[in-house]
Structure 1
Amino acid sequence: MSPAMFDELLARVGPRITKQYTFYRDPLEPGMKLALTLRHLASGNKYASMKFGWRVPHNNQSLVVREVCQAIIDEYVDEVLVCPSTPESWRAVADKFFQRWTFPNTCGALDGKHVACRCPPKSGSLYFNYK
């Protein structure tokens, strides 16, 4: 990730993940929280293996990653996840899905999800799930 993109993400998400200072302890800085979360999402390392590199306990890391991911979702949901609102736009989505996957009358799919469908007559074993 480029530094400019990181700074833009931090500027948008920073106010949502900033905590108030207390007498008990100083909170983690928003840049540190964002960097730790992006590192965890990019590498897939366990929290226990990252605790020495970031000097943040693994139990705090799990809370930080959840908090930052939720803040990113809340900040970008209106820009990224735009749901079609008219029948024509739903048809366009179904046509695009058909062109790519040759599965008619479908608006989308979930990875790893088994969806019950009615097979066309005389299709043989074309629609049979062998897993």
Structure 2
Amino acid sequence: MKIPDNESKWLEIAKSFDTKAYFPHCLGAVDGKHIRVVKPNNSGSMYFNYKDYFSFVLLAVVDAEYRFIFMSVGSYGKECDSSIFKESTMWKKLNDGSLNIPKPRPLHATLQNDMPYVLVGDEAFPLSTNLLRPFGGTHLDHMKKIFNYRLSRARRYVECAFGILANKWRIFHRPLDVHPDTAIEIVKACTVLHNFVREKDGLNFEDIQYAAENPMQEQVQLQNCNPRGGPIANSIRLEFANYFISTIGSVPWQPEAHG
């Protein structure tokens, strides 16, 4: 599974997110999924997660076609998504400039401010120049609620991809009772097969049938995992938020849909 390594591939992914999720400049949705395992021998509490079962983590970045474009699998269940992502190859490449992502440009042809291309994630991930997360808190103004709604629309692609993966390859419906190394190879094989099925005409299965687990029911482990973004990252998020409530960036149903 090769990470896209040229600007044209990234632009194709971004165009798909803009068309399907109405989220411009999006290079992928990132999230982690806990893979259930039978407690490995002599592992102590390393695999025991905050949901009270044993697991290791599949961390993935997904495009708007529900395909995995990056994955990191095998981290202990006790680790949080943010820490895993910060140690990943993709995060390091994103920060050293070797991913060859498109240079910042305006969100719309009529605008002037150049905005970076970004990944989208949930509250478990840190806000940064190239990674957007929702606004926190419960008493949010209209602009922030709209932003969180639009971000959720883009982020649901990774949630749905996990749901499709688990329902197509039913081995994930029970704890994997094999050595951790073998379990990791099983997950790798299933994600590659998942992409193969997605890319072959006539082999795609109905997405609506295999909806992802309700993200509202998934409470992430936030302690020490969500440092606040700096002023530049915050200003980028605010720019996106303002765009989503503008005449050119809004969608007709968002006032009712965000709740």
With the length of structure 1 as denominator, give the TM-score of the two structures: 0.29
Which is helix-richer, 1 or 2?
1
- The answer to which structure has the higher strand fraction is 2
Higher Cα Rg, which structure: 1
Q: For CA contacts below 8 A with separation 6 or more, give which structure has more relative contact order.
A: 2
TM-score under structure 2 length normalisation? 0.18
